[in-house]
Chains A and B, each alone.
Chain A
Amino acid sequence: MSKRIGTFNVNGKNADTIVEPQMLLVDVLREKLDLTGTKRACAAGNCGACTVLADGDPICSCITLAVAAEGREIETVEGLRAADGTLHPLQQAFIDHCAAQCGYCTAGMLMTAKALLEANPRPTREDVKRALSGNSCRCTGYVKIIDAVMDAAQQINAAKEVAA
């Protein structure tokens, strides 16, 4: 097994770290870059807890080889806040609706929801359900998560209209 220096673009910053061929993206994020907000919960791509964005697309970082993520723009939950610390509308909506309980699935939910809202800024409730159907949550029963995503979509759209 050969180690080498890999360069990862995460949350808009380049970071160099030692990678081995068998390492997964989730390992690099959590263990090398100390971005522990991304969770490993099934390690098989079934639960969505480890979801991050790669060039805007939601991927399971637990079944993505780290080397395959080089050269892509990776975004994790730590990158959601604005530079001044303002929470992303999705984060704020999750807080307002109390849409996180134990919190272990939350990062994956937020990242999947962000990808949805970028592709489909005015989703129906059914759209939200479908987009999040690959993200398992054991605590909430999903109701408040779906409410929060619907609310965040409205907030984002309202802000855009004001800006326009």
Chain B
Amino acid sequence: MNDFAYVGKRMTKPDIYGKVTGEAKYTDDITLPGMVEGRILCAPVAHAKIVSIDTSEAEALPGVLCVLTHKDCPDIRFSRSTMAEALPEFAFTGERQDQFILTDKVRYMGDWVAAVAAEDITTAERALELIRVEYEPLPPVLDPFTALEQGAPVVHEDCADNIAFEMDHPFNCGDVEKAFAEADAVAEFSGVNSRQKHLHMETDVAIASFESDKRLVIYSPSQGPHLAKKHLTKRVFPDLDDGDIRWISPAIGGGFGARLALGVEPAAVLLARHCNRPVRVTTTREEDFQGYSSRTDMHQTIRVAATKEGKLLAIDQKIVSDSGAYLSHSATTSTVNMQKTLGVLKCDNIKGHLTVVYTNTPVTSGFRGYGNPEGAFVLQQALDRLAEKIGMDPMEFRLRNLKEPGDPSCFVPVTLEHTKLKECIDVGAEKFGWKDKWQGWDAAKEGRYRRGVGMSVLTHASGAGGFLLEHSSCVMKVLTDGSLNLIVSPCEMGQGIIGALTQVAAEATGLRYEQIRISTGDTDVTMFDIGSHASRSMLVIGNAVHAAGVKIHDQICERAVKYFEEHQVKLEASDIKVRAGEITSDKAPGVVIDVSKVAYDAIYDFGEGGSQLNASGSYLSTSHHPNHQAAFAEVEVDTETGQVTVVNYVSAHDIGRAINPLLVEAQMEGSLVQGIGFALTEDFVIDPETGKVLSDSLLTYRLPSTMDVPPMEHLLIEEPLEAGPFGAKGCGEAGLVNPAPAIANAIYDAVGIRVHSLPMSADKVLWALKHGTEEAPGQSRVSGQFL
């Protein structure tokens, strides 16, 4: 076994203390001198021309500082997604810049029409009510397939066919039609996910303040403040440059991908500019539901083909994604769906086509899993149907089609170097008891409550090396007491990255974990980095920390030579090791020197050797380094009510090495429960006639509660990844991918029905039980298959 002081240990995390005492400062907890309150007026109709806006009454209200509309905005369109600044030029086609801070025309119910700054929140709200807007309603288009029809209402005037983005699968390969023609069995599944809301508990908020030297300081919870800052200067306020803005990301009240898009920051900056006061813009939970981002609903059909021996021959995927009124992350999440979802198993013939469509519905965006949960819900059910056609155990079918090192990864130009998916399946199945619980495709189930089992497998990334700007840098300095300041760029939104990076830093430097303090979240302090998303932080940022840490370790060893000489031991630096704050050598048994001595003397050297111990470290990732999971779900279906209960869930994760198994477990538990919500309860309902979001509160949108938590087991399959810091891969996102398909396959095993749209809520299950899937209320408009 390894001899790590900290890596691999179950430890709590440094940022948790402030969170249990109430000391942690979130953006809404910050008050700046002279700060005023900003609010945004949201449109009450889904599609309309703005004929006129009369702000005079609002402006006359005592305490109102300014009321702004479209005419006050920079005449430049931008995307809320900041990813354009992390992508190479060739991929910009997917990052249409298509909205103004305050809109020229209403494109969804909730679109931003005007903004107000006032001395207090009550006055700001009252001012919103006094803004008189004359709308000329236009017929809305609320469904992506209607939007694609000839003569449909046009959402963006410069996009007459409402197609925001269209592409073939970037890695189309083989001869799909020939493979289908020669296959022994062909299966198909059509389905659509719901617009799962991120539901970060902290609603969108930002403070913008122009300081007396004209510098702009933004306080806002961002998952990538450097990227957001670059995007803001390049696309929203081109008169500002990178150095003109300092972006501080305080404690973040949940991210899940939502904070990878701009929120109210542009409006806060615009207001601050006009009223020369620091402005805090806040939003309500209802506005969050009506206007802010959610997962993109992807209508998909996936056809798959196999030989009777169970070799997967071909996959053909069609996606029609509904981006809502603006594109944001919808195109990139949909392309990730094609790559990651279809890339999980070995298949030589792959074809796919994607169409992203504008509608007059709220903006959708990137959400944990970023296209993969949306795709897996459909692909993993198509695979089960295929296994059923050839009469094979669905687990066996997947085992026969696993990728091996050397095969193309899910990001085809990059070769897969490391996979333990087979071990995940084997270990998970053993723990779950798959061989006993799965009783064959024609197993008869009786009674009101019927149990069934299902499984699903996934591949996901540890960053997107070879595609995104995957480099990171950090700085370390050692203080006189042997403690370390680590200046590094991850965004701690609860996932535990600060804790895990502290462990990496302590291990690499040899300093004490308790004496490592991380500075992050301030673009004036940290080095450029594209933020915490795509499970990239541990691999990319972790490697940068490791690189700097090793340098500190070596500096300590070099300086320590003379201290051993005091003990009459002549050593080379390479004979010395530093671990948990103690300097020792196998060649000097019994001699222990504390790092604080070396660190103190390094600074308080009035001779020629004075220099604080310091180092920087950088890392550039050139590969995806996929992590993998296999999941097994057991459900109980109440055939009288349609209620589905998850009774057991076992998941095994190929994560290289868990730097901190407690934190990994916490990520897996959280993503599983989010996945159960995605699968069974979370329904984002838009009125098909008006475009109003009907599920606009936590009463009508069913977030999982403590009562929805099933018994679960998360197994870690650890074989270090050579490229990972101490062997680690990323792990945070993937857990949300498998729950929906594994639960869907288990429902089929229990009662023989498949629900084609998420969530698989009781009413849909009951309907399908009564009427059978062949008579379901609608047909897939992607393929014509019954939903």
Real binding pair: yes
B22 touches A141 (CB 8 A): no
Which residues of chain A are near B671, meaning CB under 8 Å? 141
Cβ-closest chain B residue relative to A128:
B706
A140: chain B residues at CB < 8 Å are: 666, 669-670, 673
Count how many chain A residues have C-beta atoms less than 8 Å from C-beta atoms of the other chain.
Answer: 54
Which partner residue on chain B sits nearest A106 by CB separation? B19
Q: Kindly report which residue of chain B lies nearest to residue A143, judged by CB atoms.
A: B669
Question: Are B709 and A143 in contact (CB-based, < 8 A)?
Answer: yes
User: Residue A76 contacts which of B19, B22, B24, B672 (CB distance < 8 angstroms)?
Assistant: B22
Secondary structure at the A interface, as helix, strand, loop or mixed, is: loop
- Residue from the list A87, A95, A101, A144 in contact with B495, Cβ < 8 A: A101
Minimum C-beta distance from A35 to chain B (A): 7
| Segment touching A, from B148-156, B227-235, B248-256, B527-535 | B248-256
Is the pair B201, A77 in contact by a Cβ cutoff of 8 Å?
Answer: no
The A/B interface has a contact count, at CB < 8 Å, of 166
Mostly, the B contact residues are: loop
Could you tell me which residues of chain A, from 127 to 144, have a CB within 8 Å of some CB in chain B?
Answer: 128-130, 132-144
| B674 lies within 8 A of chain A by Cβ | yes
Q: Which residues of B contact A42 (CB under 8 A)?
A: 285, 697-698
Chain B residue with the shortest CB-CB distance to A23: B122
Bound-complex Cα distance A136 to B243 (A): 39
Q: Does B199 contact A (CB under 8 A)?
A: yes
B712 within 8 A of A: yes
The distance in angstroms between the C-alpha atoms of A71 and B748, with both chains bound, is: 58
A43 and B20 contact, CB distance less than 8 A: no
Complex: A109 Cα to B19 Cα, angstroms: 11
A30 to B27, CA, bound (A): 13
Is residue B237 within 8 Å, beta carbon to beta carbon, of the partner chain?
A: no
Is A18 an interface residue when CB atoms closer than 8 A count as contact? no
Q: Does B393 contact A (CB under 8 A)?
A: no
A95 x B253 contact (CB < 8 A): no
A28 CB within 8 Å of chain B: no
Among A2-10, A44-52, A153-161, the stretch that binds chain B is A44-52
Do B285 and A138 touch (CB < 8 A)? no
Known contacts A102-B202, A104-B253; is-contact A144 B20 (Cβ 8 Å): no
Mark B554-580 against chain A: 1 for CB-CB distance below 8 A, else 0: 000000000000000000000000000
Residue B1 CB within 8 A of the other chain: no
Docked-complex contact A138 and B199, CB < 8 angstroms: yes
Residues of B within 8 Å of A49, CB to CB, are: 201
A101 contacts B496, C-beta separation under 8 Å = yes
Q: How far is the CB of B584 from chain A (nearest CB, A)?
A: 31
Residues of A within 8 A of B (CB): 22, 30, 35-44, 46-47, 49, 76-78, 80-81, 87, 91, 94-98, 100-107, 110, 128-130, 132-146
26 CB < 8 A contacts A-B: A30-B29, A43-B285, A44-B698, A47-B201, A78-B21, A98-B663, A98-B666, A101-B254, A102-B19, A103-B24, A103-B253, A104-B253, A104-B254, A105-B201, A129-B709, A132-B706, A134-B705, A136-B703, A138-B674, A139-B670, A140-B669, A140-B670, A142-B673, A143-B673, A144-B666, A146-B709
